[in-house]
């Protein structure tokens, strides 16, 4: 089968190569090849300045992935939640830089251990009700260097994805 690796009679889908990765509090987020193209397909207007001058899809990918990495790593505050997610094992990450009017939303999905992959990213308006959910259900304000990470779990504080953000190792029995 194309795109699959058969090792010890177990078929595993071969993941695309990693373009770049970064730490988001206690989890490592990888941006795989093809994700930037997916983001640009639906939200190019949100990131057109990041790929300025790039002509080919490969050049755009190589320009956008580090831009997203630097945007997240350089953000003063990150809001992480499982509220509103559509896929089990995924988290919504919201951030806004001082130069932005709108928030950026990144959707990351659990791969293995403390590694998550970026699924998509786009801009959106965040209303006071949405942001109020963070202050009303604030579980932990996690300081990661100069970065503040605010987390709010939808259901309970034992959510393994939220625990990984806080740097806890999740072991399944």
- Residue pair 28/78 in contact by the 8 Å Cβ criterion: no
Output the pLDDT for position 173: 45
Query: Which of 87-96, 101-110, 118-127, 157-166 shows the lowest mean pLDDT across its residues?
Result: 157-166
Q: What total of structural domains would you count in the chain?
A: 1
- List of residues 6+ apart from 33 with CB closer than 8 A: 16, 17, 18, 19, 61
Please check whether residue 4 lies inside any domain of the structure: no
Domain housing 29: 16-165
Cα distance between the two ends of the chain: 33
Asked if residue 25 belongs to a domain, the reply is: yes
Tell me the pLDDT tens digit for each residue of 53-73: 888 989 999 999 999 999 998
Report pLDDT digits (tens) over 159-170. Answer: 777 777 777 766
**Domain membership flag for residue 135:** yes
Asked if residue 173 belongs to a domain, the reply is no
What pLDDT does residue 139 have?
47
| Contact (Cβ atoms closer than 8 angstroms) between residue 60 and residue 54 | yes
The answer to the question of residue 145 being in a domain is yes
The number of angstroms, rounded, from the C-alpha of 41 to the middle of its chain's C-alpha atoms is: 18
Q: Is residue 61 part of a domain?
A: yes
Residue 9 lies in a domain: no
Mean per-residue pLDDT, 1-18? 68
Would you say residue 7 has pLDDT above 90? no
54 falls within a domain: yes
């Amino acid at each position: 089968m194309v795109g699959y690796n058969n090792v010890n009679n177990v078929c595993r889908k071969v993941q695309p190569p990693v373009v770049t990765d970064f730490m988001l509090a206690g989890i490592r987020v990888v941006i795989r090849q093809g994700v930037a193209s997916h983001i640009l397909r639906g939200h190019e207007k949100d990131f057109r300045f990041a790929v300025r001058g790039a002509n080919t899809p490969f050049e755009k990918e190589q320009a956008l992935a580090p831009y997203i990495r630097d945007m997240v790593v350089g953000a003063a505050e990150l809001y992480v939640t499982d509220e509103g997610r559509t896929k089990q094992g995924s988290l919504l990450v919201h951030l806004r830089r001082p130069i932005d009017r709108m928030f950026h939303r990144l959707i990351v999905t659990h791969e293995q251990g403390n590694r998550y992959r970026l699924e998509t990213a786009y801009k959106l308006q965040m209303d006071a009700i949405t942001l109020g959910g963070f202050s009303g259900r604030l579980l932990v304000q996690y300081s990661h260097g100069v970065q503040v990470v605010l987390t709010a779990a939808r259901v309970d504080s034992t959510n393994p994805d939220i625990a990984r953000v806080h740097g806890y190792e999740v072991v399944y029995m």
